């Protein structure tokens, strides 16, 4: 479970996240949506201790991420797939990850298979990978420690249709086994297929927090809801 409580993050005079409160419960996929610059990545970065909150808190599995023993083994994180070391092979990235986490090296081959990277691909340098391959590697890295929570920022970017289908199944199985997934994405159709809950933010504030079933029962699709709920806060809305 992830609990975001009255979280505010300021960068100088800019309020990136403005007093947001929501929960991503265990056993569910929570879709975290919002226009560019709405504050999604900032919230995720605070959740994993990469950015300090100005006020409020994010609790992961009942505490601060940084206070969890071996946090990377309990919380799988993918914030920026393009940030991986270009000079290392995919296999090296995963092997180093396994060593850091203290999990057996045999996890590397299991994870490669799970994310659909071949042995041959795993021996190529990450600098030669397509964005989709980097996303697969990043998701693999997040899964290495058999975590209870996944925090994924735009993991479907660059994935081909099979990749998106694969990721959807992976997240469904993960959540159905009791895992917590916080997933940001601009691929609304995909989020609609996989998310159990939707938290939408605009200009750092929550504009929607509801079960997907509830939203769909109102007869609207996620794209329409997104456009109507965030129009006044999105760049296009502001320009209009």
Considering only 42, 192, 229, 234, the residue that binds ligand ATP (CB under 6 A) is 42
Rounded to whole angstroms, the Cα distance separating 129 from 138 reads: 12
Residue in 4, 28, 34, 134 binding ligand ATP, rule: CB under 6 A: 34
Site for ligand ATP contains 20 (CB under 6 A): no
Cβ proximity to ligand ATP: between 42 and 122 the closer is 42
Least Å distance, CB 14 to ligand ATP, is: 6
Q: What is the chain written as a DSSP string?
A: -EEEEEEEEEETTEEEEEEEEEEE-TTEEEEEE-STTSSHHHHHHHHTTSS--SEEEEEETTB-GGGSSSHHHHEEEES-GGGS-TTSBHHHHHHHHHHHHT--THHHHHHHHHHT--HHHHTSBGGG--HHHHHHHHHHHHHTT--SEEEEESTTTT--HHHHHHHHHHHHHHHHTT-EEEEE-S-HHHHHHH-SEEEEEETTEEEEEEEHHHHHHTT--HHHHHHHHHTTTSHHHHH-
Give the binding range for ligand ATP (CB under 6 A) out of 10-18, 22-30, 84-92, 206-214.
10-18
Of 31, 39, 145, 147, the one binding ligand ATP by CB under 6 A: 39
Nearer to ligand ATP, 37 or 49 (CB): 37
Q: Select from 30, 41, 192, 230 the one that contacts ligand ATP (CB under 6 A).
A: 41
**How many residues sit close enough to ligand ATP to count as binding (CB under 6 A)?**
11
79 is a site residue for ligand ATP (CB under 6 A):
no
13 touches ligand ATP by CB under 6 A: no
Query: Cα 192 vs. chain centroid, distance in angstroms?
Result: 15
> How does DSSP assign 137-165, residue by residue?
HHHHHHHTT--SEEEEESTTTT--HHHHH
Q: Are 32 and 152 in contact (CB under 8 A)?
A: no
Q: Does 33 bind ligand ATP (CB under 6 A)?
A: no
| Candidate segments 39-47, 164-172, 190-198, 207-215, binder of ligand ATP by CB under 6 A | 39-47
Only one of the segments 37-45, 76-84, 96-104, 215-223 lies at the binding site for ligand ATP (rule: CB under 6 A); that segment is 37-45
179 touching ligand ATP, by CB under 6 A: no
Residue 223 interacting with ligand ATP (CB under 6 A): no
Question: Is the CB of 148 or the CB of 153 nearer to ligand ATP?
Answer: 153
Give the binding site for ligand ATP (CB under 6 A): 11, 14, 16, 34, 36-42
């Amino acid at each position: 479970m992830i609990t975001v409580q009255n979280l505010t993050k300021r960068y100088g005079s800019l309020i990136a996240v403005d007093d947001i409160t929501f929960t991503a419960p265990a056993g569910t996929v929570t879709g975290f949506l919002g226009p560019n610059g709405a504050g999604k990545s900032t919230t995720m970065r605070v959740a994993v201790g990469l950015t300090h909150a100005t006020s409020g808190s994010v609790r992961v599995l009942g505490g601060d991420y940084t206070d969890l023993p071996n946090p990377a083994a309990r919380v799988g994180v993918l914030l920026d797939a393009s940030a991986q070391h270009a000079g290392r092979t995919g296999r090296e990235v995963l092997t180093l990850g396994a060593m850091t986490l203290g999990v057996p090296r045999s996890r590397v081959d299991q994870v490669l298979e799970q994310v659909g990277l071949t042995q041959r691909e795993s021996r190529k340098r990450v600098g030669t990978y397509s964005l989709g391959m980097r996303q697969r590697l990043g998701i693999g890295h997040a899964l290495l420690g058999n975590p209870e929570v996944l925090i994924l920022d735009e993991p479907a970017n660059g994935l081909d249709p099979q990749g998106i289908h694969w990721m959807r199944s992976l997240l469904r199985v993960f959540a159905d086994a009791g895992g917590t997934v916080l997933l940001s994405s601009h691929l609304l159709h995909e989020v609609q297929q996989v998310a159990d809950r939707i938290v939408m933010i605009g200009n750092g504030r929550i504009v929607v927090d509801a079960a997907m079933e509830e939203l769909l029962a109102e007869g609207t699709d996620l794209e329409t809801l997104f456009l109507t709920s965030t129009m006044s806060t999105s760049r296009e809305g502001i320009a209009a």
